[in-house]
Amino acid sequence: MGKMGRFHSEEIGGAKLLRF
């Protein structure tokens, strides 16, 4: 759950940066 949670957080952050 740690690795998956970290990956999810990174994906959300990247999507937010790309959307901005």
Instruction: Tell whether the model's pLDDT for residue 1 goes beyond 60.
Output: no
Look up the pTM and report it: 0.13
| CA dist 19 → 1, 3, 4, 7, 12 (Å) | 26, 24, 22, 18, 10
For 10: left if phi > 0, alpha if psi spans -120 to 50, otherwise beta; the answer is alpha
State the pLDDT confidence band at 4, using cuts at 50, 70 and 90: low
For the chain, give the longest Cα–Cα distance.
Answer: 28
Summarised one tens digit per residue, pLDDT across range 6-16 is 666 677 776 77
- pLDDT at site 19: 62
Joined together, the tokens standing for residue 3 give 């690795």
